A and B are shown apart, each in its own frame.
Chain A
Amino acid sequence: EAGVAQSPRYKIIEKRQSVAFWCNPISGHATLYWYQQILGQGPKLLIQFQNNGVVDDSQLPKDRFSAERLKGVDSTLKIQPAKLEDSAVYLCASSQFRSNNEQFFGPGTRLTVL
């Protein structure tokens, strides 16, 4: 089966600019996650979708970050405006709808904010 797809793979922007990331999960996976992975740390969950509804966004900085999953398939994560500390790899993952099911990660988008 095809894996989780993400684009772009790399993005360099200046602070206060906006940026958007796209994710296409594995076909049939109802649950989609966005993680932020800062260099040298483990992934941190930003937001979790079940189909097109938000399950958990407790760690999403809502003053600058937003995410949507229209039609319960693809998802976009946006940062507006970006700060230096947003430099990280943004990972998208998906899983089948079942408790404690394996999460499959995409290749990530490496964001550098100058």
Chain B
Amino acid sequence: GENVEQHPSTLSVQEGDSAVIKCTYSDSASNYFPWYKQELGKRPQLIIDIRSNVGEKKDQRIAVTLNKTAKHFSLHITETQPEDSAVYFCAAAQGGSEKLVFGKGTKLTVNP
């Protein structure tokens, strides 16, 4: 089955800096890669996703890149703000399947 590794487990940046979180997956059949943000005590919320037919997707300060050959994908947050502080999870799913396999999460802290 699919296995998703996520690094780093914790990340601390200064406000205004960029943050990068990386994930690798094992199943070459996976073709859907969402990223979820989970604030303390709250539900996970989708912030961006990418499908395997594209290599990069941007939404304002957030971008995701996908390298299918290397089987890794990354989340990039630019101009970080204190409200970006949360735990971020990557996930992967196979085509035709809605079963998401999540990474262990990255706790991002943005220091003012």
Residue of A whose beta carbon sits closest to that of B49: A102
Q: Which residues of B contact A25 (CB under 8 A)?
A: none
Bound-state CA distance A53–B4 (Å) is: 27
The count of residues in chain B whose C-beta lies closer than 8 Å to any C-beta of chain A is 26
Q: In the bound complex, how far is the Cα of B47 from the Cα of A103, in angstroms? A: 11
Decide if B105 touches A42 in the complex (CB within 8 Å).
Answer: yes
Interface of A is mostly: loop
Could you say which of A15-23, A61-69, A73-81, A105-113 contacts chain B?
A105-113
Q: Report if A87 contacts B (CB, 8 A).
A: no
Q: Are A100 and B99 in contact (CB under 8 A)?
A: no
Chain A residue numbers with a CB within 8 Å of B101 are: 45
Chain A residues with Cβ under 8 A from B7's Cβ?
none
What mask results when residues 7 to 44 of chain B are scored 1 for a CB within 8 Å of chain A, else 0? 00000000000000000000000011010000000111
| Interface pair B93/A91, CB less than 8 Å apart | no
Q: Mark B68-112, 1 if CB is under 8 A from A, else 0.
A: 000000000000000000000101010111111111110000000
B31: chain A residues within 8 A (beta carbon): 100
Which residues in B have their C-beta under 8 angstroms from that of A101? 98
Q: How far is the CA of A42 from the CA of B91 in the complex (A)?
A: 9
Residue interface bits A9-49, CB-to-B below 8 A is 1, else 0: 00000000000000000000001010000001111110010
Contact of B104 among A42, A100, A103, A105 (CB under 8 A): A42
Contact A106 B32 (CB under 8 A): no
